């Protein structure tokens, strides 16, 4: 059986609560469920697009179909009897165009309308079909198993990686004592305690001692890294003077700079207030930057270490409108900016991100393990700070890091 129907004018315009009929009909058309709305008499008020399609009802000006007699083929009195007996909804089986539908009939007392939801029996069965349910269940189980396997593999890899780091760290640790002994003997010999040295012997010993020191630095760099890797990074936050902290590092490095003939200049702003930070860790980060600057700056070059108060506008402010930003702009600097700039060869822009990753080295002509910047980054991030580089090839490099002053 097929019929034709259009959505006739709404029976009671008040019930549309100020919405136009077109709007209500349009809204119902967006609903995936087939819906038919009718008056108590069976006169159809609305029928959405899904219902028209499922029931094969054309949308044209023929409002003659009665819900009860024309569509549901049921006695309306039977429906209302059940509703009056307190039934919230009445379910029916409806045959139409060779297909079977399940109709869910509900009554809306306020406008006295009947609302019918229609579902193809075939679709309902498919959802209830145990075979389909098993397939879904199986798929979910399979996904769960894959997820568990992946997690297990990931944890295993992590453990293997941890064991590798622990092994390398203990090997590195074993190197520390003999290196300290060798360096001690170099110092003794160079001080003349073991007899007078010729100039040639002194030169050779100086060079050997330098190599030994480089090895000590590499070993301690790796030990620092493995300590960070095994989750041993605990900040010792105390109220400290950053100028003292950086001044000590600059002094410690001044001899190495002099030896290479590179000028080191420190400008540490006296207005930096004391704030909470980990003294040793900040020294370590600054030392790694100075180490790099010295390594990459040729003799006759210059390196500057600068520190000063800084206003750090955090990312949340970027999305706020300008007026808001001005309103919340802090009156005082909230961080300290520390920068190490050199007059070395610079770093091409494509390496600016990756050089902060573990074991990444760009310049193969210098010694190192590609860990100095990775360690510095971890230490600074542990302080909730950030680090970046600005550099032009042949224009020197400037590494800057920010430390927030509100460490809790
Ligand atoms: P490494 O200990 O091997 O120097 P880093 O993590 O400290 O490792 O540095 C990674 C790479 O970044 C280096 O191999 C080098 O190519 C580049 N680099 C770091 N600092 C400088 C600098 N001041 N000038 C030029 N290149 C630099």
Split at pLDDT 50, 70, 90, the class of 234 is confident
Of these ranges, 43-52, 219-228, 399-408, the one predicted with the greatest mean pLDDT is 399-408
Q: Return the axis-axis angle of helices 279-296 and 242-260, rounded to nearest 10°.
A: 30
Split at pLDDT 50, 70, 90, the class of 331 is low
Alpha helices for 121-237 (secondary structure H): 121-128, 130-190, 199-229
List pLDDT tens digits, range 354-370: 999 988 999 877 778 89
Other C-beta atoms closer than 10 Å to the C-beta of 221 total: 21
pTM: 0.59
Please state, in angstroms and rounded to a whole number, the distance separating the CA atoms of residues 123 and 125.
5
Nearest CA to ligand 1 atom 23: 293
User: Has residue 17 got a pLDDT over 60?
Assistant: no
User: Has residue 155 got a pLDDT over 60?
Assistant: yes
Mean pLDDT rounded to a whole number for the chain:
83
Q: Return the axis-axis angle of helices 372-382 and 199-229, rounded to nearest 10°.
A: 50
3-state helix vs strand vs coil in the chain, percent to 5: 50, 20, 30
Nearest CA to ligand 1 atom 7: 372
* CB distance 371 to ligand 1 below 6 Å: yes
* CB distance 363 to ligand 1 below 6 Å: yes
Mean pLDDT of all residues in 323-327: 55
Of these ranges, 124-133, 138-147, 197-206, 309-318, the one predicted with the greatest mean pLDDT is 197-206
Which carries the bigger pLDDT value, residue 257 or residue 114? Answer: 257
Which of 12, 14, 65 shows the shortest CA–CA distance to 42?
A: 65
CA of 276 to the centre of ligand 1 (A): 29
Q: Return the axis-axis angle of helices 121-128 and 130-190, rounded to nearest 10°.
A: 50
The pLDDT of residue 267 is 97
The closest-lying atom of ligand 1 relative to the alpha carbon of residue 373 is 6
Pocket test for ligand 1, best of 373, 375, 387, 396 (most atoms within 8 A of CB): 373
Burial class of residue 160 in the structure, from the number of CB atoms within 10 Å of its CB (0-12 exposed, 13-18 middle, 19+ buried): exposed
Least confident window among 81-85, 158-162, 263-267, 322-326: 322-326
* CB distance 124 to ligand 1 below 6 Å: no
List pLDDT tens digits, range 38-53: 888 888 878 888 888 8
Other C-beta atoms closer than 10 Å to the C-beta of 368 total: 18
Nearest CA to ligand 1 atom 13: 361
């Amino acid at each position: 059986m097929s019929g034709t129907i259009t959505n006739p004018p709404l029976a009671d315009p008040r019930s549309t609560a100020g919405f136009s009929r077109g709007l209500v009909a349009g809204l119902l058309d967006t609903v995936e469920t087939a819906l038919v709305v009718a008056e108590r008499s069976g006169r159809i008020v609305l029928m959405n697009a899904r219902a028209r399609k499922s029931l094969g009802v054309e949308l044209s000006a023929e409002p003659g179909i009665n819900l009860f007699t024309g569509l549901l083929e049921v006695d309306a009195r039977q429906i209302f009897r059940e509703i009056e007996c307190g039934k919230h909804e009445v379910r029916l089986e409806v045959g139409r165009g060779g297909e079977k539908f399940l109709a869910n009939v509900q009554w809306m007392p306020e406008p006295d309308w009947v609302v019918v939801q229609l579902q193809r029996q075939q679709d309902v069965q498919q959802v209830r079909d145990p075979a389909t349910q098993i397939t879904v269940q199986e798929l979910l189980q399979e996904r769960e198993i894959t997820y568990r396997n992946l997690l297990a593999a990931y944890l295993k890899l992590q453990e293997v990686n941890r064991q590798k780091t622990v092994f390398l760290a203990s090997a590195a640790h074993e190197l520390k004592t003999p290196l300290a002994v060798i360096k001690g003997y170099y110092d003794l010999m160079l001080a003349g305690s073991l007899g007078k040295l010729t100039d040639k012997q002194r030169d050779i010993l100086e060079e050997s001692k330098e190599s030994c020191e480089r090895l000590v630095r590499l070993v301690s760099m790796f030990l620092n890294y493995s300590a960070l890797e095994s989750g041993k990074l605990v900040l010792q936050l105390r109220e400290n003077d950053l100028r003292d902290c950086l001044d000590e590092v600059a002094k410690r490095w001044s001899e190495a700079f002099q030896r290479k003939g590179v000028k080191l200049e420190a400008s540490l702003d006296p207005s930096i207030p004391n704030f909470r930070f980990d003294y040793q860790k900040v020294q370590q980060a600054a030392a790694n930057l100075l180490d790099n600057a010295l390594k990459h700056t040729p003799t006759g070059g210059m390196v500057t270490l600068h520190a000063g108060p800084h206003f750090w506008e955090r990312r949340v402010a970027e999305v706020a409108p300008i007026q808001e930003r001005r309103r919340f702009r802090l009156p005082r600097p909230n961080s300290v900016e520390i920068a190490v700039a050199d007059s070395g060869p610079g770093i091409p822009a494509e390496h600016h991100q990756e050089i902060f990753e573990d074991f990444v080295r760009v310049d193969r002509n210098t010694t190192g393990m590609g860990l100095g910047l990775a360690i510095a980054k971890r230490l600074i991030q542990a302080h909730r700070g950030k680090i970046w580089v600005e550099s032009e090839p042949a224009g020197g490099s400037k590494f800057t890091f920010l430390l927030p002053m509100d460490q809790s």
